[in-house]
Structure 1
Amino acid sequence: MTVALTAAGCGISGPVDVTGLRRVVGTDLVGARGANPADQRKIDRTVVGLCAGKVWTDAECRRHGEMAVP
């Protein structure tokens, strides 16, 4: 079984490079706690990247928009 998984390219090692994911997600979320409008903007910018990168479905992105505080 192990040989088959290894031969198929499956494993438990992490990705070699996460540059693309970092570009999609960004770093705005770091330190945000959602406690104030500035934090909410950081969360929203992160969601925009996830939606634009198609990490989340259109329905999930709409749900976030519905939950956002005006």
Structure 2
Amino acid sequence: MTLPPLPTRLVFSAAFALMAAGCGTSPPADAARPTLARSARAIVGTSLIGARGATPADQEAIDATAAGLCGAAVWTRAECRKHQQAAAVAP
């Protein structure tokens, strides 16, 4: 019996290695309330706390929070667009 050509053996070896690596397991994720709260704070941020929009620094904090909400897809694209338009008009 002859062996297949080297490129064929390499492809099969790589495919087997990838399949074996994909069969691993990961530990269960914790869905407890504190964990979800930390995740939400990490996504959205906490810069909005105390901001009123009265100063440029306040507006930057609001924009940073909106960016987190848009990036995490908490807000819809229409809501993100509405915030961007309103922020562009703000003095």
Give the aligned partner of residue 54 of structure 1: 73
Gaps of 5+ in 2: 1-31
What is the percent sequence identity of the aligned residues? 53
TM-score, normalisation: structure 2: 0.58
Number of residue-to-residue matches in the alignment: 57
The structure with the largest alpha-carbon Rg is: 2
Gaps of 5+ in 1: 1-13
Considering only aligned residues, what root-mean-square deviation do their CA atoms show, in Å?
Answer: 1.5
Q: Which runs of 4+ in 1 moved over 6 A?
A: none
Cα distance between partner residues in 2 of 1:59 and 1:15:
29
TM-score, normalisation: structure 1: 0.74
Report which structure shows greater RCO (CA 8 Å, sep ≥6). 1
